[in-house]
Structure 1
C-alpha cells in the first residue's frame, strides 16, 4: 500500500513558504503483529506547527519536525487492519484519535491510538477541537471562580474560541478577549461568550485592555505571550491566576525578547503563573466530554471551524492560518 505524506523539506529561514513542504508517496511496510493500520479522515492544523518547523522540541508527543520526515499533528482516523498481537480492543471500523496527521495512512503500535467513544458527540470531527485545553486551563490551572473577570489573549483561535464560552458557562462574571481583525472581534462578541474584545494591533495594548477592564482581571488565559501577557499582568488584580497556554507572538513571527515582566509586581499582587500542557490533564477528558456533550445538546456552545479538503491543500492552509486568516478550529479532510 502507498501512503501520501507531507514532508518538511527544510527548516524555514524566516517566514515559511510552500517550497518548505513536499508531497511524497511512501510504501507502507507489511503490518507488524502488534500494529494497526489506520486511514486518516481528518487532521488538525495549529499555530504551534510554526515552532515545530524550526526544529525546536517543545514537549510535543512526537518531538519536532525534521527535514525529510512527515509532519504530524492531531488526527482522526479509521482502523482498517489490526495485527494479531496488537494490544487493546481495536477492531476494523473503529474511529481513533492519534498524532499522525499530514498523511493518508499510518501503521503504528496499537497503544498509540485512542478509540473514539461512540455516540458522545454529534460529529466525530469535534473530537479534534481544542476544548479540553481550554477546559483544563480554566478549571484546573487558573481555578476559575464564579464572578471572575477573565481575559483570553488570542481569543479567535481554536483554543480561544472555546475558552471564552467555557469561562462563561462555568460562571465567569465578565469575559474579554483580544483578536486581530474587526471580523474576529464581531465573532467573539456575537455569540461566543465574550462581553468585549479589542484589536491587539491598536497600541498600547495595556491602555486598550484597561478601557474594557477598568477594574482589572482575575484570570488570564494566555495564548500569545509577549506584550499581551505583560499588559495582562499590569491589569491583574491581587491573587490573579494566569494559565500560560501558547506563545503566538513568537509562533506567528513576532518576538517576546524585548518584553520584560516585573517580578516585583507579580510578588506584590501575589499573581500565580502556571504553564499549561494538556497532556498533564488527561484525567479531565471524561468531565470535559460530559460537559461538552451537555452544552452541545442545550445549544449553548459553538465550535467555529474551517474544513479544508485534500492533503495537498494542507501546506497552503497552514500558511493561511499563520497569517491569521482563519478563526476557530482548522481541519483538513481526506477522501
Structure 2
C-alpha cells in the first residue's frame, strides 16, 4: 500500500512557508516479525519544530527529513506480541498517513472518557508542561500575581487555569481581543492584554499588576517578556517554557539586558523541557483528569481536517490561528 508523507523540502528563512514542505508517496512493504502497521489518526503541530529547523532544538530537522511529531495512531496489523489490531497508541511518529513501526516508544492509550486528541493536548505534553513547569518551577502561592504570555495557546491556557486553582491572580497576554475575552469568560483569568492592539504592553502590565508580578510563565520571549520581567517583584520566578517570538528571527536581537535584572531583583529564571518529567507523567495526567472531571479545568483544541493541511496548520501557529492546541485530524 502507498503511504503519504511530508518532508521538509528546504529550511525556512523567517516564518515557514508552504514551499518549505513537500508532499510525497512511498510504497510500504509487508510488516515483518515485531512490526506494526499504523494508521495515523491525529498529529500534533508544535512551535518547537521551528526551533529544530533552526538547529536550536536537538536533534535538528534538515532539508530532506520527513517531518515528525507526537501523534495518535491505530494499529491496523500487528506482528508484535504487545499490540493487537484496534489498539490506539501514542508516540513520536513521522508525518505519514500509514506507517510501519517497531513498537518502541509507543504508549497504548486507555479510554480516558475524553477524545483521543486530548492525548496531544490537555493529557499530552502541552497539559503536562503547564502542570509541571508551573508547579515545580513557578511554585504558585495563594494571592500571588501570575502573568502568562501566549496565554490562549495550548500550554498557556492550561497554566493560567492551574494558577487560578492554586489561588493566584492571573493575567494573560494574547494576540486578539477575542482570545482575551475567551480567557476571561471561559478560563477564569482575572484580566488580559491584547498585545497586538495595545500601544504600550509594559504600561498595560503595570496598570494590571500594581503590586508587581511574582510569577511569569513565558511562552513567547521577545519584547513581551522584556516588558513583564522588568516589572517582576523581588524573588520572582520566571518559567521559560518557550520563545516563539524568536523562532523565526533572521538577525540577532538587541533586547533588554536581562542579567542585571536577575541580580537586582534576585529572580529565579529556569528553562523547562517536558522530557525531564517522563517518570512523573502518570502523576500529572491523574491530576489533570481530576480537575477536568470536576469541571475546574477547561481546554481547547483547534483541529484542522486533512493530512495535506499539516504545513498550513504548522504555519498557522505563527499567525495566531490556534485557540488552545493545534492538531491535524488525518
**Common fold: TM-score over 0.5:** yes
Matched-pair contact (CA < 8 Å) for 1:16–1:319: yes
Matched-pair contact (CA < 8 Å) for 2:14–2:250: no
Mapped partners of 1:31, 1:125: distance in 2: 27
Counterpart in 2 of 1:21? 21
Q: Measure how far apart 1:159 and its partner are.
A: 0.9
Structure 1 spans left out of the alignment, 5+ residues: none
Q: Measure how far apart 1:206 and its partner are.
A: 1.9
- Give the aligned length: 325
Matched-pair contact (CA < 8 Å) for 1:305–1:328: yes
Pick which of 252-261 and 28-37 moved more: 252-261
Counterpart in 2 of 1:263? 259
Q: Measure how far apart 1:107 and its partner are.
A: 2.0
Matched-pair contact (CA < 8 Å) for 2:313–2:327: no
Matched-pair contact (CA < 8 Å) for 1:250–1:256: no
Q: Measure how far apart 1:92 and its partner are.
A: 2.2
SS in 2 for 1:110: coil
Counterpart in 1 of 2:174? 179
Matched-pair contact (CA < 8 Å) for 1:222–1:229: yes
Map 1:1-335 → 2, pairs under 5 A: 1-54=1-54, 56-59=55-58, 63-84=59-80, 89-116=82-109, 118-129=110-121, 130-169=126-165, 171-201=166-196, 202-251=198-247, 253=249, 257-334=253-330
Mapped partners of 1:315, 1:187: distance in 2: 26
Mapped partners of 1:183, 1:203: distance in 2: 17
SS in 2 for 1:4: strand
Pick which of 207-216 and 287-296 moved more: 287-296
Mapped partners of 2:26, 2:105: distance in 1: 21
Mapped partners of 2:71, 2:201: distance in 1: 36
Mark the CA change 1:256 to 1:183 in structure 2 (over 3 Å): closer, same or farther: farther
Mapped partners of 1:7, 1:73: distance in 2: 12
**CA deviation digits over 1:253-300, x for unaligned, max 9?**
587711133323212322101110001112331122212222222222
TM-score (norm. length: structure 1):
0.90
Structure 2 spans left out of the alignment, 5+ residues: none
SS in 1 for 2:93: coil
Q: Measure how far apart 1:236 and its partner are.
A: 1.1
RMSD over aligned Cα, in angstroms?
1.9
Q: Measure how far apart 1:133 and its partner are.
A: 0.7
Matched-pair contact (CA < 8 Å) for 2:13–2:248: no
Q: Measure how far apart 1:105 and its partner are.
A: 1.9
Pick which of 28-37 and 206-215 moved more: 28-37
